[in-house]
Amino acid sequence: MSDAAAPQAITLERTDAVATIRIDRPKAMNALDADTLRALARAVRDVRRDADVRAVVVTGTGPKAFSAGADIAAMAAMSPGDGHAYSQLGHEVFNRLEALDVPVVAAVNGAALGGGLELALACDFIVAAEHARLGLPETSLGLIPGFGGTQRLALRVGLAQARQLVYLGRVIEAAEALRIGLVDRVMPGDTLAEAAGSLARELAGRAPVALAQAKRLTRAAAHAAMAPALAHEVDAFAATFASDDRIEGLRAFLEKRAPAWKGR
């Protein structure tokens, strides 16, 4: 299988019962701009329609980044309305990925920052390379996580650890991510693909109907109260776009200087 509509943004292939979705923008650190998110949505749709797929691996091209998140320059030019639409798009795509009946393994081959980490959090399992760095640095830009990170991170690591990562915008090494339960396994970079593929093949060997039901029920338990909060996150993300601090934070990042916050 392949996504012919955007071959340089997302590739999709299947080997036996395992489909691999790959973000293929290494020069852009596999950033998730709107076009890439739409291509990801098409890949998820194709996986859902393929009855022979029993498990999915999501990864990035190259050793540097799983996905470094949003395109900062593009976000700097967005209006609050644009920001709301961008956040809504990310939510829709990640919700569809998470809702697949088959298990999804994130193979974090490098930096997973911002939307990149939020993408990994929408997967069932996260396997990370030893050199990977993970975090939600949005508050350092005058923003908040806008693709579900304020909710899925707390579900995965607990509220106390989520506060550390979200409020402070901390970026942590893979070893610490394993210690706090953010990732499930840490592997040398040259064995990551095989480790993620091996886990996916093991999952693919389970009874499909039973696995689908188990996934639906565990997801329902985790998300019982999350849907309204996810909707609120979209609005809150757009609200930060209307702030002077968002403009200053993104400008400071692009100019490689410390931001001068105004608090408005």
> What residues act catalytically?
118, 138
Residue 84 CB: number of other CB atoms within 10 A?
19
**Order of strands across the sheet that contains 111-113:** 65-67, 111-113, 133-135, 171-173
Residue 191 CB: number of other CB atoms within 10 A?
12
Report the distance separating Cα 135 and Cα 113, nearest Å: 5
| Helices then strands, each counted (H, E), the chain | 11, 10
Beta strands in the chain (DSSP E): 10-15, 18-23, 55-60, 65-67, 104-108, 111-113, 125-129, 133-135, 171-173, 185-187
What is 161-180 written as a DSSP string? HHHHHHHH--EEEHHHHHHT
Dihedral (C-alpha) 203, 17, 12, 191: value to the nearest 10 degrees? 50
145 Cβ contact list (under 8 Å, min separation 6): 114, 115, 118, 136, 138, 153, 166, 233, 237
Q: Read off the tokens for 155.
A: 């579900």
**Would strands 18-23 and 55-60 be described as parallel, antiparallel, or unpaired?**
parallel
